[in-house]
Structure 1
Amino acid sequence: MATLPEKVTIFEVGARDGLQNEAHVSTENKIEFINRLSQSGLRHIEAGSFVSPKWVPQMADSMEVMQQIQKQPGVIYSALTPNIRGFELALAAGAEEIAIFGSSSEGFSQHNINCSISESLKRFEPIMLLAQKHQIPVRGYLSCVADCPYDGPTPPQQVANIAKALTGLGCYQISLGDTIGTGTPLRIARMIEAVASQVALENLAVHFHDTWGQALTNIYQALTMGIHVIDSSTAGLGGCPYAEGASGNVATEDVIYLCQGLGIKTGVDLDKIASAGWMITEKIGKQPTSRTSLALKSQHYKQR
């Protein structure tokens, strides 16, 4: 029997990563969504993104959203920041943590942030200095840890080297992202082994998209290896504007249900998460992609 953690931390990315591809979602709906998530037992919620509205117009209201949400004690509200201007805006908005984002592959780095991997690391240095000055924790996203839509398979050692570089810059945690959702458990295991040789396991998180239906099996693999932080998106919302065909992140509801079945504590109320997911998907005219959410909804209607 595999050794599993007693508890995991769920890092909710639905309000940012989940909604950044949705053209028609109001500021009010975003605020209500985050407020509902805040009541669920989640302790980490990514609430906005301070990137150029030219590139991600859906996140142009992040300042308004972060200033108007009803913040709950014990919940950390974070924001994605690509540069110093983004950091300054996140600070003004009241973000308690920021995230920077880099790539494991050169092709994705060029398409996503218009520079090489080495250039991106240099760009992060002034942000890290400011964050240190203001005592703001910084999380590092690392995309394409399994495959790149432009370069093909990503060598595990390459992922490990960049994860080590981000840690060296001062990131307290590295979120390992299977951006196009093509990873399978054996490949994910080899990647985590390589990264764990350079970065302590307690400083790693996983961020899996479910394009090929492998996200939960990959999460289980990661759990057996000592990972205890999981990124997920309520209702399975999301995608990536620079990775055509990439589906949403693994659904928070599905992760909670998996953990319940494994006897792993999350501290998060499944029904409240599902309810928040039904609300936001109804507002944007979509169905949740979460199997757990759909099963709960079907059960709910049967009991009425």
Structure 2
Amino acid sequence: MAAVIFLSLFISTVWGLAPSGPWDQFNFAPASRVVTPQSVFQVVGSVDGAQELVSGQDGQATLSGDGSYVVLDFGKEASTVGGRVSLTVNQASSDSALSLSFTESSQFINPKLSDDSCFSTPTLDGDGVQSLPSPLAEGLFTQTVGEQRGGFRFMTIVSNSDSPVTISNVSLGITFMPQLDDLRAYTGYFSAQDPDFHDPDFLTKIWYAGAYTVQTNTLDPHQARQQPCPQPQGWANNATGGPVEGTILVDGAKRDRNVWPGDMGISTFTEVVTTADLESSKNSLLVMYSTQDPATGALQYSGPP
């Protein structure tokens, strides 16, 4: 028997909010612009109180021993997050040391490397880790704009000293789509059920995954990827993505954080039907027109940097 498809697609002509319904459970966008880890994925070495970092309370964890680490999972199913990490160092000595590494996939969790975001290398060692300033100071640590990570799910916190260090209040301040206070405030919605498929909501999940991906690709124009990349390792996401002041629509939250018109052929339509955001695409087109060669009329293949 042929599968019966129930489809509902709504785009408000006046950009009103989409109605609530069972499709809301598939919306990957977080309810707050400050998110905390969802779970502890892995503990290696001596980490006392790791679960306290995801308890939602003011819990503390102590890492003891060089090479001990805890892997925190910020994700929901296959979704990622992006922004500036904050954590509190509650207790540390003069020779305590911490570093952070990031990855989208659990296959690439590594206490000494992050998955590549600035440029791709066959050995996946282009980014390395972010070492917290030394000597490690007690109090609140927050990444700078340039240090922010564009797209990740797993963050590994590593002790690089035998001196114990106690931390708490691990969180992430989301930086993408800054013009939207409520990231879940979609103007469009989608629901398609196929009762004969192994996952009846498969198409609905794909639609909302695409919607959230485009949200993560909507950036402040002063948070593009620096080129050339820091050497010998590292990343820097505080470059200027074009001569505009509003948000821009880039081709990727983690890597190539700049305007690529080819990607806009899909992402612009996605953003219009999900969040009714026309401003980001308009600004991205202005960025591309700013690259036009006055002699030939040719446009660059991508926006700056």
The normalised TM-score by structure 2 is 0.26
1 or 2, which has the higher strand percentage?
2
Structure having the larger proportion of residues in helix: 1
